[in-house]
Structure 1
Amino acid sequence: MKRSVLIAAGLAVAIVVWMASGHFSSGTDSTASQEASATSAPASAGSAPSLATEVTLKHYQAQDLAITRTWQGEVVPVQTFNLRLQTSGTVKMRHHEKGDTVRAGDPILTLDPADRLARKAQAEAELALRRQTLEANRALFKRGLLSDTQLKTDEALLAAAEAALEQINRELDYTVLRAPRDGVLTALTAEPGEAHVSGESVGTLIVTSPIRVTFGIPQQEIRQIRTGQAVEVKLADDTHLAGAITWIAPQAHDAMRTFEAEADIPVTEPVKLGQSATVTVKLGTVKAHKLSGALLNLAADGGLYVKAADSQNRVIRYPVELVQADPDGFWVSGLPEDVDLIVIGQGFVSAGDTVKPRRQAEPAT
């Protein structure tokens, strides 16, 4: 029995020693594993370094840009005349028809002058009689045979006869209706044989040269515009003309917030009125770059900027201001005269990043 107790005690000691040996061995392996992992981590990072982003650059150079403002307008006549008779009578002849082009002073229609010619003959006879009477009475007055009152009466009668003849001659002139200015007859209603009264409208004439273009100037641009400024006008029929601003309204339109304006345009050939027109005014010349809208970025403060690369291949951010918008691009200011802008890949880089640039191939010539 003593022997069996000794065997059991020996086995217990052996088990304890074995367990203790296994515990310390496991701890040593764990520490070694952690050290190996820590040692291998830098090696892994060093084996895959970060690469610079590839971008495409395009060289831009500033150009002289004529600053312009453009508005849409309409061609209207400078002046429209309502043709009215200045005396009564019966139409004897029409010298022109609706649609005819006339010159200032050309006869348009004539009233029958017969009754006025008869009255003119009477007035001329009366005037001749008054002159003879006054001449004879002056001789009598010098001889003391005629009173001063009678002589003054004869002088007054002569003046009245002269005025009557002048009135008849004026009425005879009025029997011919003449064009007040060069233009086109757009209406002529009086027909031969018809009786008309003084002041009656019998037609319309519009002045065709110069023409007038009416347009609206937005309130944001009104400070840049003044009367006398030269304008270029392109009509709907592709006619190109030049003129000057002649009038700007002192008050903006309540609803549109635009100022009505007019420009008079001299023309040598007839222009169809009522057609639309594009009015352009040049404000000066500045240095600017023309860019695609895809290159413009919106900053947090609402401004615009573009991305470029410097000589160290680092991304630079340039704030720009919009100068003018064209159908095929945007003109901006704020860039160096010569600059390399990122045209491909700009969405993947930020200011200060290092990039791997390549040049955009120039188009073949």
Structure 2
Amino acid sequence: MLALLWLLTGSNDDEAAEPTSAAESQPSLIPNVQVRDMDAQGVRRSLTINGVTEPDRSVAIASETSGRVQELLKSAGDQVADGEVIARLDPRDLNAQLRTARANLEQARLEYEGAQRLGNQGLQNRSQLAAAEAGYQSAQAQMEALELALRDTQIRAPFAGVLESLNLEVGTFVSPGQSVAEVYDYDPMRVVGQVPETDVTFLQAGQSATVELVTGEQLIGELTFVGTVANPATRTFKVEISVPSSPKNLAGATAKATIMLAEQSGHYVSPALLNISDEGQLGLKTVGRNNHVEFTPVTIVRSDTGGVWVTGLPSRARLIVVGQGFVNAGDVVNPVAVGDSNLASGQ
């Protein structure tokens, strides 16, 4: 009886021990992830604009009168000052006509002054006085017209710049309105480009820009114009950047402008940590309240060889840096903190 009782007692102990041992050996269903607490920092986003160079202004000079080219004072490519004479046309008999007109004006002036004196004495009626005045005004108008015609025989630069082309040769005949030269003003020079509709709201006139020309030269410029009407084909807006004159001025050459935008609050992370949601949004996975995984959409504002600056995260975020590929938004995780580092790197 004692032996039977002992056997029965030993069997119950083994059965009672089995559930306890199985419970202890069952693994936890909550996954571990490594996290890093990250604080937001100030970052300035840069916007790169590809464009072409243009002169500040340009004009095609047209002849004001007809005549034969008598003298060329400038050549294509020369610098010209404001109002400087580029070429002269043959004045023909304009100088002789002008001398006659001056003599006629002097005679008409004397007759008009004499008529005024006689009128004051009552010896000249109003009709005679008016006729003398009309003769004087006519002589003056004729002389001014001849002086203008003589000035028109001198083809001048309308402003300071570069004489880009000169379509004249000594002895050729030009007509009124005929284009004879082109002058380009490169001081300042402009860089004209297009920006996407998503970026145009960050721009405003007066912002500083760094411009790199096709020659490799870098110039500091200023944003002077931001368009308000989009190109219907590309949905982009025209912008203009003014830069100082370059030693080698080129119109229509490729240029790249970089504009630093206003400072924003962002986080610097490794590109490997970025995820794409089922909706196609770019974001990062963080651990929120009650250790739940959260997916936060972010926007890349700046990048370099070491990482990317993103905005969209809260000021302080617990970023999942290891294991983010095995958990989804809403999952409960066991966060394990990792050491501090300047850059959160994904694995």
TM-score for both structures, normalised by structure 2: 0.78
Letter of the 1:232 partner, please give it: A
Query: Match of 1:235?
Result: 212
- For residues 102 and 290 of structure 1, what CA distance do their matches in structure 2 show? 53
Over residues 63-97 of structure 1, what are the superposed CA-to-partner deviations in whole Å (9 max), with x where a residue is unaligned? 21124443322212232201111122222221211
- For residues 142 and 346 of structure 1, what CA distance do their matches in structure 2 show? 108
**Which structure dedicates a bigger proportion of its chain to helix?**
1
SS at match of 1:78: strand
Q: Are 2:328 and 1:354 equivalent residues in the alignment?
A: no
Q: Are 2:243 and 1:262 equivalent residues in the alignment?
A: no
Letter of the 1:124 partner, please give it: R
Q: 1:143 to 1:341 in 2, by over 3 A?
A: closer
Q: Are 2:188 and 1:213 equivalent residues in the alignment?
A: no
When structure 1 is superposed on structure 2, of 209-218 and 197-206 the one drifting more is 209-218
Q: Are 2:80 and 1:112 equivalent residues in the alignment?
A: no
1:169-208 correspondence runs (5 A): 169-208=147-186
- For residues 146 and 325 of structure 1, what CA distance do their matches in structure 2 show? 90
Letter of the 1:352 partner, please give it: V
Contact 1:79 1:207 (8 Å CA) reproduced: yes
Query: Match of 1:129?
Result: 107
Contact 1:318 1:334 (8 Å CA) reproduced: no
Over residues 237-265 of structure 1, what are the superposed CA-to-partner deviations in whole Å (9 max), with x where a residue is unaligned? 34232212325143x22221223333434
Contact 2:284 2:296 (8 Å CA) reproduced: yes
Q: 1:139 to 1:346 in 2, by over 3 A?
A: closer
* RMSD (CA atoms): 3.6
Contact 2:219 2:243 (8 Å CA) reproduced: no
Query: Match of 1:245?
Result: 224
Shift of 1:123: 0.7
Q: Are 2:294 and 1:317 equivalent residues in the alignment?
A: yes
Unaligned runs of 5+ in 1: 1-31
When structure 1 is superposed on structure 2, of 53-62 and 212-221 the one drifting more is 53-62
- For residues 38 and 278 of structure 1, what CA distance do their matches in structure 2 show? 79
Unaligned runs of 5+ in 2: 1-9
Shift of 1:232: 0.9
Q: 1:336 to 1:181 in 2, by over 3 A?
A: same
1:70-89 correspondence runs (5 A): 70-89=48-67
Report the number of matched residues. 329
Aligned residues with identical type, % of pairs: 29
- For residues 307 and 107 of structure 1, what CA distance do their matches in structure 2 show? 71
> Which protein has the larger Cα radius of gyration, Structure 1 or Structure 2?
1
- For residues 247 and 308 of structure 1, what CA distance do their matches in structure 2 show? 39
- For residues 194 and 50 of structure 2, what CA distance do their matches in structure 1 show? 8
Contact 2:56 2:185 (8 Å CA) reproduced: yes
Q: Are 2:333 and 1:333 equivalent residues in the alignment?
A: no
Contact 1:230 1:281 (8 Å CA) reproduced: yes
Contact 1:304 1:320 (8 Å CA) reproduced: yes
